[in-house]
Amino acid sequence: MREGMNQQDSLYTESQRFDQWWIWGIVLIAPLVFCWLIYRQIILGLEVGDNPLPDLFLFAIALVLGVGPVALIYACRLDTVVTGEGLFIRFRPFHRRWVEFLHPDVLEVEAATYRGLRDYGGWGIRYGARGKAYTVRGDQGVMLRLSDGKNCMIGSQNVESFMCAMLRDG
């Protein structure tokens, strides 16, 4: 959002996180494997493999490959705010500043159903044949057609309220 704006100026706000059980199941596999490796090699003193890693290197890899992805998924959040000026989104931790879609730049707004894997190759900040997408979960969102000829899908868990806010002041 622009300088000087606050939540009271908003017509609609939404914050989404990756809280699907299957994502956490996949992401937690690596830390569990590294915990087992550290327990086996450091606590029990049993070498892992024919050429075991030094303990310090094992810890470093466990932090980067085990804890890193968990921390990243935990930190990810898609914030969406609609104000009288336009739509503002921020996909944390990747955006430090708000991405602005001002009303004069938005030609058309429509509720849309998308297929995350097929249309955009997954969820997150993605690029696909249908344009750019900012999605976290589900298959519902708002498709923006912009004055520069590009399309942008913004995922939402509350499309009706999102659309009402966009059309009310757009």
Report pLDDT digits (tens) over 69-83: 999 999 999 999 999
| Mean pLDDT computed over 110-133 | 89
Tokens of 21: 């059980």
Report pLDDT digits (tens) over 137-155: 889 999 999 999 999 999 9
Q: Whole-model pTM?
A: 0.80
| Mean pLDDT computed over 96-108 | 94
Tokens of 24: 């956490």
Q: What is the pLDDT of residue 128?
A: 84
Q: What is the pLDDT of residue 113?
A: 94
What contacts 20, CB < 8 A, 6 or more positions away?
137
Q: What is the pLDDT of residue 134?
A: 96
Q: How confident is the model at residue 2 (pLDDT cuts 50, 70, 90)?
A: low
Q: What is the pLDDT of residue 74?
A: 92
Q: How confident is the model at residue 126 (pLDDT cuts 50, 70, 90)?
A: very high
- Please name the CATH architecture into which domain 7-17+76-169 falls: Roll (2.30)
Q: How confident is the model at residue 125 (pLDDT cuts 50, 70, 90)?
A: very high
Report how many helices (DSSP H) and strands (DSSP E) the chain contains, helices first: 6, 9
Q: What is the pLDDT of residue 19?
A: 84
Q: Are residues 116 and 125 in contact, defined by beta-carbon separation less than 8 angstroms?
A: no
What value does the CA radius of gyration of the chain take, rounded to a whole number of Å?
A: 21
Distance CA 160, CA 141 (A): 9
Q: Where are the domains of the chain?
A: 7-17+76-169, 21-74
Distance CA 62, CA 102 (A): 43
Q: What is the pLDDT of residue 129?
A: 84
Q: What is the pLDDT of residue 52?
A: 84
Distance CA 125, CA 135 (A): 7
Q: What is the pLDDT of residue 121?
A: 84
